[in-house]
Structure 1
Amino acid sequence: MGPNFSLVVGVLLVALAVVCLAPALEIEGSSAKKVMKKRIQAMQVKPVDGSGAPRKQLAAKHPELGPLRMIATRSAVTRIERHLALAGLGADRLPLVVLFKVLTPALVLLLTPVVTSADKPMFWLIFFVALGISYFAPDIIVHGRAEERQKRMMYDLPDVLDQMTISIEAGMGFESAMARVGANNSGPLGEEIVRTVQDMTLGMARRDAYLALASRNNVEDLRRFTKSIIQAEEFGVPISQVVRVQAEEMRDKRRQRARETAQKVPVKLLFPMLTCVMPVLFIVILTPAFLAMGKSL
């Protein structure tokens, strides 16, 4: 592959991405009216079974991507959409992610003349590694943000449940307690609770709203909590008792996770100690002994 060919391919990829995604990059303003309109349209999807779970829509063909749909496969688009949802980002960021998946390898291809001028195998190895990393870098970044957001929600869940318990025992209803706790918490869990309350206000059934809350996130404790609330409403169990039990259970789990993390610290420090600290320590201790032995000989 000559440098001129790689240069032409890189320029064509950049031009194709810009031309195809230029309309998609004009992201609409996220006004409250448009957000509510999208949620109402999503609630119009009827469930396919009797479980009450909202129907899982297949990944759309995304006409805004244009010819880039041939580059981004259906499975890749579905995976990116899921990670964007877990990261709390809107679906309008999808064209941007696909754009960077095309632009970053194209920019690496533009560096091919520099690599060929070096004429060293090591430069070619670094070039191909950088080419692969540049293609998967947008996915890695979005996935990292999704994991960070989910971990923060898992960490904040016990405190949020404690606040719900206090509000319910003070005489507030469960939905009012959710709205109050969601408004008082600025984290991702507070945002999800506010969205759930808004869905119920717009007419979504409470069961469907709870199931939608669990499906939008990947926190197992949150899913267990929503299932407990649904079962409590079906069997007539007091909500305050369920929330109190769940809060105590979540606090115990958070304490166990902290202990588990603390127990992993010595194992994680073993490799840096053996590779960095111990050799230097041996040098400092044994160097005077070797010097003394050299002088005695």
Structure 2
Amino acid sequence: MHPAPSLILFTVLSGLGFGLIAWTGLGLGPAGIWYAWTVSVASGALVAGGLGASALHLRRPDRAWRAFSQWRSSWLSREAVLAAATSAVFGAYALTWIVTGTRLAALGLLSALLAAATVLATAMIYTQLRTVPRWHTPLTPLSFLAFAATGGLLAVLSLSGAASRPLTLLALALLATAAALKAAWWHRANATRRPSPEATTALGALGTVRQFEPPHTGRNYLQDEMIFRLARRRATAVRRLAAGLGAALPALLLALLAAVPATPGLAPAALLSHLAGLLFERWLFFAEAEHAVGAYYGHR
């Protein structure tokens, strides 16, 4: 599929923002009011930036509000409802924290649960598509949740300004888990058969299906959005960048931070590296997706 920058920014930024909301709601980070302001602005900017990017991807952004109406059947609509609910509950949590200096555990826990549910709904938008075999696996939502949890915890470590060895080790463990899940996702994707003309037309029993002539004289929306040609060498290079920046380098920085907690700048550097790696990973997530519609245009 076409790796639209708006979708890449949406999934990466909103995942990081909701991960930060979840960990903050669970009580991580300093208790001071300055941190309440900082984490509120940071999480709000990340979530707003991600959702704003997703709205720009729509052909008619002014109709984005209609996404709230189909929550009974649409994961996209459920995501919109959950994102709004998460923002409202966390806003109440942050406001109470700033005004009274007290973190209400009940509101925080509800914020964390809603944030996790929102990330899950985002992942299910892609997981539900049987027409994209690479996405149609439980590893997709697990990877989204693991990356959100990892990025959110790295953001907590970066914004708090004080290194905590237990949290650093937890971030290292989450990073390893996310990397393992993504490696398993890539392994499955490599082993997954791409949709063939024989399978999609159900004419394979008659022999090899070949296109007699194109269905139309010019390109159309399906070809622009659902079909993307990616060279294997380029995909391998991007995959290495995603693994190196998203997992290997942050792991090294976190290991140094765990060994020498007083070293400044390691947590923010790990966060920025992880974020850069996620951008490459998410670009590849869309670019390597092979929609079944491509088989009708002769793609094998």
Q: TM-score range by the shorter chain?
A: under 0.3
TM-score scaled by length of structure 1: 0.28
Larger Rg: 1
Q: Which has the higher contact order (CA 8 A, sep 6+)?
A: 2
